[in-house]
Amino acid sequence: MSPGGGLNEHERSLYSRQIRLPGVGESGQLRLKAAKVLIVGAGGLGSPAALYLAAAGVGTIGVADPDKVELTNLHRQILHGFDTLGLPKTVSAAEALSELNPGLILPLHPDGLTAGNAMDLVPRYDLVLDGADNFATRFLASDAAVLAGRPLVHGSVLRSEGQVISLVPGAGCYRCLYPVMPDASQVPTCSEAGVLGAVCGIVGSWMASEAVSLLLGARKASRVLQIDAERGLCRPLALQRDDRCPCCGNTPSIRSISPETYRPVCASPPSSMPDHPLEISVKEAAAALAAPTPPVLIDVREPDEHAICRIPGARLIPMGQVPARLAEIPRDAVVLVHCHHGGRSLRVTQFLRAKGFASVSNVKGGIDAWSREIDAAVPRY
C-alpha cells in the first residue's frame, strides 16, 4: 500500500465506504494516498487526529513530538497505552498507527517542531496539523506554514470546550487572531484547569475531518469552529486575513524563522493583587460591578442564550462578532467578559489582550456560576 500508483483491490475494499462519498471517489482516495501530513504533538489532539487520518488512507504521516509517554497522558492520549509508558511518543504513535494501516509511511521527528527544523520539515508535507499544548509551538507552526505556503489545522481544548482553526494559505493565519504570543499566564494548562478526555477526542476528530477536506480541496476559506461539548454545540465562525498581520498581512515583518521569536515566554511572578488578572471569580466581578465606577461587562454568548437570561447591564457582543465590533469596546476602561461557563469568554479575553486591550479579565464560570453564587433569580440552562 505505497502512496504511489492506483488503488489495488484491497484498498478499494478497505476504503469503499469513504470512496462512495460525494467529493471523494477513487480520485479523492488517491489524493489522500499521495498526501503527506505533519502532526505536531502526538498528545490529546494529535492522537485521535492521527488515528483517523491513518484510517482515512493518508499515505504519509509525520509525527513531531519531543516528549515521552507518561501515566497522566493516558486518559486522553489514545495513541498510547500502559505498554508504551516511558517510550518516546513518536515511537508509541508509530506502533499504534502501523497496526491500523500497515502500509503507512511514518517519518518520526523526536525533536518535535523547533525553530531550527521548522523550515526543513514543513515544506516536506502537504498540510500541518497542530495539536501543540503551548503557544510557542502554535505560533511557530503557523508562521512556518505561512512561509511554506501550506494549509494548517490548529486545535486546542480547555475544560469542556475546544477550538479548531482551519487555515487556507492566503486566507488568514493564527496571528490574524493573536498577533503577539502571550505569556504563560494567559491560559491555564490542562493540569491546572483539567480536561475531559472525550473533548480531546471530539476536537481531534474534527481536526482530522478538516484536514481531509483541505487535502481534497473542499475547504476554500479559513474558519474557526468553537465547540462546547457540555452544551453539545459547535459554532462555525469566518476567519478573515488581517491586512496588518505581521506574518500574512500586506507588509509582513515575519519573513523567516528566528529562534528568539519562539522562546516560551514565562509569566512574571504574580503580585498579591494584580490590577487586571486574566480571570476573576463571579464574586469579584459582582463586587466590581457594584463599585461607583463599574467595569464594562461584555456578554459573548449567542442571542438565543441571552434571551434566556442575562446579567443586568451587560452588553451583548456574540463571540463571532467581536473582531468586527472592537470599536464598541472601550480601551480606556476596565472590561469584564463572560459567557455561559467561561470557556468562550476566556478565548475572547485572550483575543482582546492580543489586540491591545490591557484592562480586560474573564469572569470564571460565566453566567452559570453567577446564577449559583450571586443571583439565583437568573435562570440556569
Distance CA 197, CA 213 (A): 25
Whether the Cβ atoms of residue 215 and residue 177 lie closer than 8 Å to each other: no
**22 alpha carbon, distance to own chain's centre:** 28
Do β-strands 108-109 and 60-64 pair in parallel, antiparallel, or remain unpaired? parallel
H or E stretch including 228?
strand 223-228
Instruction: Find where cell 484536514 sits.
Output: 211
What is the distance between the alpha carbons of residues 87 and 67, in angstroms, rounded to a whole number? 9
* pLDDT attached to residue 183: 65
Query: Listing from the earlier edge strand, what are the strands of the sheet with 279-280?
Result: 279-280, 360-363, 335-338, 296-299, 315-316
Query: How confident is the model at residue 152, as a pLDDT?
Result: 98
Q: Is the dihedral of CA 77, 78, 80, 83 positive or negative?
A: positive
Lookup: cell for 226: 468553537
Residues β-bridged to residue 85: none
Residue-level pLDDT at 161:
86
Q: What are the catalytic residues? A: 190, 339
pLDDT at 3: 44
Which domains does the chain carry? 35-262 (3.40.50.720), 279-373 (3.40.250.10)
The CA distances from residue 345 to 18, 116, 175, 182, 298, in Å, are: 37, 35, 19, 16, 9
pTM of the predicted protein model: 0.77
In angstroms, the CA 347 to CA 67 distance is 27
Q: Which of 315, 298, 299, 270 is nearest to 357 (CA)?
A: 298
| Spatial separation of the C-alpha atoms in residues 52 and 42, rounded to whole Å | 13
> For residue 27, how many other CB atoms are within 10 A of its CB?
10
User: Quick one: pLDDT at residue 260?
Assistant: 78
Q: Are 300 and 319 within 8 A, CB to CB?
A: yes
The low-confidence residues of the chain, meaning pLDDT below 70, are: 1-5, 183-194, 263-275
